[in-house]
Amino acid sequence: MESSTSFPILLSLRVAGLALLFVGPIGLAIALLQARRRYALRGLVDALVLLPLVLPPSVVGYVLVVVFGRRGLLGRILEEGLGVRLVFSPAGAALASAVVALPILVKTAQPSIEAVPSQLEDVARTLGLKPWEVVFRVTLPLAWRGVLAALVLGFARAIGEFGATLMLAGNIPGRTNTMPVEIFAAFQEGDDARAGLYVGVLSAISVVVVLVAGLLGPKEGRAPA
């Protein structure tokens, strides 16, 4: 039992890292799309991105189980095609964390991308750069503070995910018991010391994240308008 004290901490870091690896590029792509393009379904995409923020975690978890569960459409394809089972697995915990991290990631990165004057991107195009080259050589270098803040906040949201994680990945000691899940279990068992330990660790991580995000937040260092 003692040796497994550190397991939820390491698992949470791994799950949040995996979630960020997955949702980071997707979130940034959506933020770029929403910041720079005016297209027919833009409002709908905006609403869909915000959904995990507005819906109760139990609803997000339920939807994920329906879609990615063993009888869900994508769940079956993943299990039969790739041998990946998300239910009751750390990968499932990472997926749930990724989904709930998406809104904060997109909504933090988008304004910093919008703050890059599009005239700079236009000039870069006339100098021979393809649109994806413009992203890497103009947009991201100028929006890096906001993008980094988005990734940091997304990581914090991912590591703190509880409800959807519990429904999709469950609470299997030594396999899917991330810190938030472990806190709930310890609380129910009346093990205040164990709950307190993880509460402390999660709180410390959150304080660091909020401080870092504050340092990166809106500030001079942006491109002049």
Binding site for another protein (CB under 8 A): 117, 119-120, 122-130, 137-138, 141-142, 223-224
Least distance CB 125 / another protein (angstroms): 4
Based on CB atoms, which residue is closest to another protein, 38 or 71? 38
Least distance CB 109 / another protein (angstroms): 17
Per DSSP, helices labelled H in 37-161 are 42-54, 57-68, 73-77, 90-114, 118-126, 131-134, 140-159
Comparing C-alpha atoms, which of 217, 173, 214, 180 is closest to residue 195? 180
Based on CB atoms, which residue is closest to another protein, 14 or 36? 36
Least distance CB 132 / another protein (angstroms): 11
Which tokens hold the place of 18? 């995996």
Based on CB atoms, which residue is closest to another protein, 19 or 143? 143
Residues 23 and 98 sit within 8 Å (Cβ to Cβ): yes
Residues 176 and 170 sit within 8 Å (Cβ to Cβ): yes
Based on CB atoms, which residue is closest to another protein, 145 or 194? 145
Q: From CA 185, how far away is CA 46, in angstroms rounded?
A: 36
Least distance CB 122 / another protein (angstroms): 5
User: Which residue is listed with tokens 């000691």?
Assistant: 173
